[in-house]
A and B are shown apart, each in its own frame.
Chain A
Amino acid sequence: MIKTGAQIVMECLIEQGVDTVFGYPGGTVIDLYDALYEYSDQINHVLAAHEQHAAHAADGYARSTGKPGVCFATSGPGATNLVTGLATAYMDSIPMVAITGNVNINLLGTDAFQEIDIYGVSFPITKYSFIVKDQKDIAKTIREAFYIAQEGRPGPVLVDILKNAQAGTCEYEPQVPRAIVPRTRNIKSEDLAAAAKLINEAERPMIFAGGGAIAAGCSENLLAFAEMIGAPISLSMMGLGACPSEYPYFTGMLGMHGTRVSSKAVSNCDLLIIAGARMSERVTGNAKTFAKHAKVLHIDVDPAEIDKVLDTTTHVAGDLNEVLKALMAQIDQKEDMTWRNQILTWKKEFPPIAEDIGSIPPARLIRKIADKLPKDAIVVTDVGQHQIWTAQYYPFHYPRTFISSGGLGTMGYGVGASIGAKKGNPNRKVVLFTGDGSFQMNCNEVITAATQKMDILIVVVNNHVLGMVRQWQKLMYHQHYSQTTTNRKIDYVKLAEAFGAKGYDVSTMEELDAILDEAVSQEGPVILNANIDMDVNVLPMVPPGNAYNQQIFSIEV
């Protein structure tokens, strides 16, 4: 059938099972939005207040549902506003398809109004990008974009469509999407055999799983694998939720703000099994000293991650779930419990430490809110101290319940991501832990949550300073608190009301107790501003560049 390019975009989105799009209209996407008008019974559009947050919403939707998130933006500033969102998704390997408009082909390259080469801009921050100049290429391109976004190691894909291609007509033939199958083509039987041998020979194996474990959806097999080989599980921040926090042999995070138990375990293990983690310097600290005495088995779907940071003893490159299944068929059930008992002893000896400072200690705040929420609540964060506290103290039970910008560390990510998470999971509770610094970067987006009548609990963990930088200044920059004391007098209750949301302001645990039940059961967005002390630190900490076992447990001034 003959359709316009813009209609073909809609048809292709429907082919891919897309029913939700986040975006913002503009000059070069009017055709796209005109088609959307026609398809509004099949595609639900969430109008953001800013394109950056439309991108973060698509990202939050993808992280919380596992399906690719989709966003629309116009050319020029609309497209450049997506950049931070694309980069955030790229760094954390999140499947996303961003569709932008661009000027007519006869204006392309003339520096026309709102013309920018977003295709060129996107190269280093997307898995792939396309520019479509002819409507005949739209269907093929959109299909390929969805395939690339999801296959192997996922990532964001940009499709820039010229205005003439959106408006022009051509023949459209529906097509069943190409199936996304777990990538196994690089899994070699000799690699599996070598890995199985290492595992069988290990007396003290330890598993460190990352975001790849979430992407592969392998939680069940990860636990079964850990049980078979008698290993504790540590997670990277991106991996949180892959193993329930109540699992007795879960040791918490590893790295800059990892637990003492994880640090002990990685110092003493004789085999470190890295499962779907890219070993960022925030995890390894000084990579030369990291797990120096252990053999290293690295499993990752992306062969380029192997030996990138850490030299491995052996590796298997392929879908984590498939690799774990294949390995379990080749390894022995471990009977000796000495190593696991050692882990339990360390867990008793070194419980998580949280500074109990101020009238609302953040760890208590986070746990108190967790107690009020169901186990499957989706927890979103912004970036900074509150993010790490949430990662450390919130008890996660399921994969895809912790949504946070790990790699890029995007302050201002949270509100958009929460909107995406809520849209993808309308029947689940969504809570955003943010900081005053992060929230001030994106609070305009609360209007979207209010307009959409989304129940999102936004907890501003407010220390009135840019706490993470302040902590570094305190520790390493002679307490020169350069530009980190914000001194902004914002009335969060009024701010909430201005957006048509409900606001609370608390400064003590008693005040929190008094309103918390009401706050979590409100309809629509809620801004709960919790004033905390400005000098609570994120601990333990491995100062940058140090060995991972040189943790500090307090910062004295």
Chain B
Amino acid sequence: MDNRYIYSLIVQNRAGVLSRIAGLLTRRGFNIETCSAAETDNPGVSLIVVVFRADEKSALQIKKQLEKQVDVFEVRELTSDSSVTREHVMVKVSANEDERINIISVAGIFRANIIDVSPKSMIIELTGNTGKIDAFIETIKPFGIIQVARAGMIGIERLGGAPLMHK
């Protein structure tokens, strides 16, 4: 049975790191569902969060494979019990004068923000966990989605200390 795994990787901020990590997952037969990477408070260190599906044994194996990479300082699994995760989405939706007020009310229910309005469309942004984002997209769909831009998941453990930033 495949489960969804979220791994948070603390890596050396070096050219090619993301490519190497993505390549490793692909090579061993995993499809990456989402991936996000950015510099941390330490400019020499980046955080990569990858989400993929696997069975338990394969997930553990991939964790060990990631841990042994020269650029990887630490790999933590983010579980729903022990961590907080967020995704971010921007949706451009058709919005003529008649529909605008209905869309604004849906956005309000989801606590989404309207960040751009033009005569025929508007852009709404929303932050939340995967379920909330999925539900929002479903709800807004009947109005006519023009484009969705969804960022990879990020997350942080509730407890636990600062990540290891050296090898």
A interface, CB within 8 angstroms of B:
119-120, 123-124, 127-129, 131, 148, 152-153, 302-304, 306-308
Contact = CB atoms under 8 A, between A and B. Distances in A.
A307 B65 CA distance: 12
A interface SS class: mixed
B23 A123 contact: yes
A495 B37 CA distance: 57
A304 B65 contact: yes
Interface stretch (B3-11, B43-51, B56-64, B76-84): B56-64
A119 B23 CA distance: 13
Nearest to B57: A307
B19 to A, nearest CB: 7
Contact of B15 (A131, A148, A303, A304): A131
A129 B70 CA distance: 10
Secondary structure of the B contact surface, majority rule: helix
A544 B60 CA distance: 27
Given A304-B61, A307-B60, A123 B20 contact: yes
A321 to B, nearest CB: 20
Given A123-B16, A131-B16, A307-B57, 6 more contacts: A119-B16, A123-B19, A123-B23, A148-B70, A302-B68, A306-B64
A120 B23 CA distance: 10
| Interface size classification for chain B | 10 to 19
Contact of B61 (A124, A128, A148, A308): A308
B67 interface: yes
Nearest to B23: A123
A303 B70 contact: no
A303 B64 contact: yes
8 contacts: A120-B16, A123-B16, A127-B70, A152-B68, A153-B68, A303-B64, A304-B65, A307-B61
Contacts of A131: 15-16
Contacts of B64: 303-304, 306, 308
B27 interface: yes
B9 to A, nearest CB: 15
Contacts of A120: 16, 19
B73 to A, nearest CB: 14
B70 A124 contact: no
Contacts of B23: 123-124
Nearest to B20: A123
Nearest to A151: B70
A261 to B, nearest CB: 32
Interface string B16-28: 1001100100010
A153 B69 CA distance: 11
Contacts of A148: 70
Nearest to B16: A119
Contacts of B57: 307
Contacts of A119: 16
B19 A304 contact: no
B67 A303 contact: yes
Contacts of A304: 61, 64-65, 67-68
Contacts of A308: 61, 64
Nearest to B15: A131
A227 B60 CA distance: 35
Contacts of A302: 68
A303 B23 CA distance: 20
A307 B68 CA distance: 15
Contacts of B60: 307
A303 B72 CA distance: 15
Contacts of B67: 303-304
Interface string B126-142: 00000000000000000
B68 to A, nearest CB: 5
A443 B154 CA distance: 55
Nearest to B69: A128
A240 B153 CA distance: 48
B39 to A, nearest CB: 20
Nearest to A128: B70
A485 B70 CA distance: 45
A502 to B, nearest CB: 46
Contacts of A127: 70
B68 A303 contact: yes
A124 B20 CA distance: 8
A415 B107 CA distance: 70
Contacts of A306: 64
Nearest to A157: B70
- Most chain A beta-carbon neighbours within 10 Å: one of B20, B23, B70: B70
Contacts of A307: 57, 60-61
Nearest to B71: A128
A129 B15 CA distance: 11
Nearest to A304: B64
A327 B2 CA distance: 38
A119 B14 CA distance: 13
A307 B63 CA distance: 12
Contacts of B27: 124
B114 to A, nearest CB: 40
A148 B69 CA distance: 11
